[in-house]
Chains A and B, each alone.
Chain A
Amino acid sequence: MNNTAIEICTLIIENHECGGRADQTILEVAEENGIFIPTLCRLSGLSNIGACRMCLVEVKGMNKLMPACVTKVQEGMVVTVNNERLAEHRRLALEMLFSERNHICSVCVTNGHCDLQFLAQKLGVNHITMPYIHPLMPVDASHPRFLADHNRCILCTRCVRVCQEVEGAHTWDIMGRGTKARVITDLNRPWGESESCTGCGKCVQVCPTGALSEKGQAAGEMLKRRTFLPYLSMMREVGK
């Protein structure tokens, strides 16, 4: 056991008095106390990067909004999680994601299991007020078991982090800037030709949207095998 004393702080999050260790983040303490702070790029167990800006909160005395996932708690902190301004920012951030690439839920493999969809429903974003950008992005189907559809990617980099930090393969990374940025495998070679990919599938499981999926699950792949239909009456006769 190490004997370093761990400092304990008390702070107020959304009018709740909370206690936390000084090495914990606002988000961790909030979750322990049952206070919901929306997140997208964050996944417990991976490093936090503060990129999606969903978890921005107001901290009294600071003039900037702080990402709860990377901001450490401090004694006497007063944190506001929900107010009109934060709701507007989160709403716009979600709208931006929906407008950036193709996120049409009805034809998505992850429909119903999607973190982006869940958050939009939770925060009441049922339509968007800005025009769609929707550039045509490539789909990489070269891997025998998995599929990468860049049209669904929100660039949260969970795949990049899980591959590097947990699997240790660092197959995934990012190339390009701005809206041209996209996740790539190896040095932008097709996923199926990747020499570093171990095929573990962790990236598929951590992906919050339908960008990375297992093959055979897309709406278009749900074909019914109806070749026996013309013989139904015959089959009934035989059964009699």
Chain B
Amino acid sequence: MNQDDLTSIAAQTKQSENRYDHVIKVCVAAGCLSANSEQVKTQLESELKQRGLETCCKVKGVGCMGLCAAGPLVSADANELMFQGVTPADASAVIDSVVDKKPAPAAIVMDSQLDFFTGQKKIVLENSGEIDPERVEDYIAADGYEALFHCITKLKPLGVIEQVTKSGLRGRGGAGFPTGLKWTTVAKAQGARKYVICNADEGDPGAFMDRSVLESDPHRVLEGMAIAAYAVGASKGFIYCRAEYPLAVKRLRIAIRQAENNGLLGMNIGDTHFDFKIEVRLGAGAFVCGEETALIASIEGGRGTPRPRPPFPAQEGLWKSPTLINNVETFANIPPIIRRGGDWFASIGTDKSKGTKVFALAGRVNNTGLIEVPMGITLREIIFKLGGGIPEGRRFKAVQSGGPSGGCVPEQYLDIPVDYDSLASVGSIMGSGGMIVMDETSCMVDVAKFFMDFCMSESCGKCVPCRVGTTQMHNILERITQGEAGPQDLDLLTRLTSMVKAASLCGLGQTAPNPTLTTLRYFMDEYRAHIEEGRCPAGICHPAKVEAEVGA
């Protein structure tokens, strides 16, 4: 395939879609699928056929539209009409509304002008909810693979890296390492073979950004990886995806096959000398395999445990070769950066954090789902504008960003801008994008215990601070929630948090104390209430002391 073929496929696809007066899009990403959206789609198709409308109206399965809580979601006519909670029985009402402009029942109509939708800025998710993730033609029609062709025919590898560096893109896996710098290091590293790895081992509880990208727009990730491979001089890539994402894996495999069949991956891509093949490797349920050195060990067939860095994977990675390893969302940002230029990307966001970030909004908030917002937006805007505030008029207490590695941000910091450095300054991290909102009915000690329990069970057991430290901290938190802890336990807990943070081998252990540290810092009164008064202010824990008093 060459540039001309690409242009003609794009034109044909657009033309065949324009033949229809209406396109009804049904979300077939995991969230809506589990709420029966596949049957909604089939019902819509058969209903159209019955009415003889199949030539003027098309039904298309698309990726995630974001507001997962209201699924299954259906949209039509460039998203002017949106429907929520659609069941197969609603199919005829949807068609009436789209084709005959009859108003649909209020229960299924959704306001497409909700702040949830209008407050977003979509770069990574630009095709999510728009294209059919299982058709490469759809992706090509949305300017897909144009950036790759531009790179391999018009830019030198250094020119590609220059654009990425200029964009100011930082790693979206959580740590925020400058992507351009990483690419430069791998490009300059000496090695006969180099590898590109896409880290799709998303494991934070409540986070599903990467899954959604892979399910809704898999070709975007492949294109980003191919551009990276061209830039650093790699000819082989791996996508390490967790096995708990069967739909993402299925769509990735379909996308790889389509790309190979169309000469977009494989040998002599775009009739140039550039070769790049991608293989999917499945994780086996270990959270720690999201850590880059553990991930590499796992791909090599070993036990998924991290090793000390340096040497960094950029110097000595997969099978000791220089390896570029980036997160799904990072790769998904690459094609638009190349298409529109690094300067365009750098114009979005804040001084040190450029572009947008996808967040999975969850917990005690009205609109739960996936959002993409420009860096620098405040937490307050995310939670109260896009998220629609706290349900049932309850009071906001804290927001946890960055999953088990992140911290709880209390109300007084709601107006800080969301960027890597501001979140770090209040003890949390950007993380991969999980955002869990908590209200007055959440007990912060219980929250800290939950995340410590997670880290304790997911610690690989290699280094002492993480293996034993997380267990000891968990046991102390457990005793506090049960009202069995004394003031000396708080001292020990504080000592343990700083030791585990400083002395652990990899990121899992180094960040495991963060939820505890931030709750200790901002919600010490709740810890005290448990320990000194045997009382849980949120009424979640049942400290033994209270029961004893009641019994007496």
Which residues in A have some Cβ–Cβ distance to B below 8 Å? 49-53, 56, 64-65, 67, 70-72, 85, 88-89, 92-93, 96-97, 99-100, 129-131, 133, 154-155, 173-174, 176-181
- Complex CA–CA separation, A99 to B470 (angstroms): 13
Range for the number of chain B residues in contact with chain A: 20 to 34
Interface pair A56/B503, CB less than 8 Å apart: yes
Minimum distance in angstroms from A83 CB to a CB of chain B: 13
Question: Of B457, B463, B469, B472, which one neighbours A177 at CB under 8 angstroms?
Answer: B457
Which residue of A72, A96, A176, A180 is within 8 Å of B468 (Cβ)?
Answer: A96
B468 to chain A: which residues have CB within 8 Å? 96-97, 99-100, 133, 179
Q: Cα distance A100–B467 when bound, in Å?
A: 9
B551: A residues at CB distance < 8 A: none
Given contacts A97-B464, A174-B461, A176-B461, list 20 more A-B pairs with CB under 8 A.
A50-B307, A53-B465, A64-B502, A65-B502, A67-B505, A71-B308, A88-B495, A96-B465, A96-B467, A96-B468, A100-B468, A100-B471, A130-B472, A131-B472, A133-B475, A155-B467, A177-B286, A179-B456, A180-B461, A181-B461
Q: A88-B495, A177-B286, A177-B457 known; A93 and B464 CB under 8 Å? A: yes
Residues of A within 8 A of B286 (CB): 177
The reply on B447 being an interface residue by CB < 8 A is no
Q: Are A89 and B505 in contact (CB under 8 A)?
A: no
**Once the chains bind, are A130 and B307 in contact (CB under 8 Å)?**
no
Question: Are the CB atoms of B461 and A92 closer together than 8 Å?
Answer: no
Residue of B nearest to A160 (CB): B303
Which A residue sits closest to B488, measured CB to CB?
Answer: A129
- A178 lies within 8 A of B465 (CB): no
With a CB–CB cut-off of 8 A, which chain B residues contact A96? 464-465, 467-469, 472
Decide: B461 and A50 in contact? CB cutoff 8 A: no
Check if B504 is an interface residue, CB within 8 A of chain A: yes
Interface residues of B in 52-70 (CB under 8 A from A): none
- Known interface pairs A53-B465, A67-B308; A93-B459 also in contact (CB < 8 Å): no
Q: Which 8 A-B pairs have the closest CB atoms?
A: A181-B461, A96-B468, A50-B308, A178-B459, A92-B499, A100-B468, A53-B503, A89-B503
Question: Chain B residues with Cβ under 8 A from A97's Cβ?
Answer: 464, 468
Q: Mark B490-504, 1 if CB is under 8 A from A, else 0.
A: 001001100100111
CB-CB under 8 A from A129, the residues of chain B are: 492
User: If the complex has contacts A51-B463, A93-B465, are A178 and B458 also in contact, measured as CB distance less than 8 A?
Assistant: yes
Instruction: Pick from B459, B461, B465 the residue with the most CB of A within 10 Å.
Output: B461
Pick from B307, B461, B463, B496: contact of A179, CB below 8 A: B461
Q: Are A53 and B463 in contact (CB under 8 A)?
A: yes
Flag if B505 contacts A178 (CB, 8 Å). Answer: no
Looking at chain B's contact residues, is the secondary structure mostly helix, strand, loop, or mixed? Answer: helix
Q: How far is the CB of B498 from chain A (nearest CB, A)?
A: 9
Closest to A133 in B: B471
State which of B310, B470, B495, B503 has its C-beta within 8 Å of the C-beta of A178. Answer: B470
Residue of A nearest to B288 (CB): A177
User: 21 A–B contact pairs at CB < 8 A?
Assistant: A52-B463, A53-B463, A71-B310, A89-B499, A92-B495, A96-B464, A96-B472, A99-B468, A129-B492, A131-B475, A133-B471, A155-B462, A174-B303, A177-B286, A177-B460, A178-B456, A178-B457, A178-B458, A178-B459, A178-B461, A178-B470
- Cα distance, A131 to B471, chains bound together (Å): 11
Within the complex, what minimum Cβ distance (angstroms) separates B509 from chain A?
Answer: 9
Considering the complex, give the chain A residue whose CB is closest to the CB of B462.
A51
Count chain A CB atoms within 10 A of each CB in B288, B308, B456 and give the residue with the most: B308
Of the residues B307, B461, B471, B504, contact of A53 by C-beta under 8 Å: B504
- Judging by beta carbons under 8 Å apart, are A51 and B458 in contact? no
Give Cα A99 to B471, complex, Å: 11
- Chain B residues near A52: list those with CB within 8 A: 463-464
Instruction: Report how far A170 CA is from B306 CA in the complex, Å.
Output: 20
Most buried by B among A50, A88, A92, A155: A92
CA distance A100 to B469 in the complex (A): 10
| Shortest Cβ distance from residue A85 to the other chain B in the assembled complex, whole angstroms | 8
Q: CB-nearest residue of chain B relative to A56? A: B503
Give which listed residue, B460, B499, B502, B504, contacts A181 with CB less than 8 A. B460
A89 touches which one: B458, B460, B502 (CB < 8 A)?
B502
Name the interface residues of B101-122: CB closer than 8 Å to any CB of A. none
What CA separation (Å) do A45 and B531 show in the bound complex? 50
Kindly report which residue of chain B lies nearest to residue A155, judged by CB atoms: B461
Contacts of B459 in A (CB 8 A): 177-179
Chain A residues near B503 (CB, 8 Å)? 53, 56, 65, 89, 92-93
| Known contacts A65-B502, A89-B499, A53 near B464 by CB under 8 Å | yes
Contact present for A177 and B458 (CB under 8 Å): yes
Q: How far is the CB of A59 from chain B (nearest CB, A)?
A: 12
A51 in contact with B464 (CB, 8 Å)? yes
A70 contacts B308, C-beta separation under 8 Å: yes
Asked if residues A50 and B457 are in contact (CB atoms below 8 Å), the reply is: no
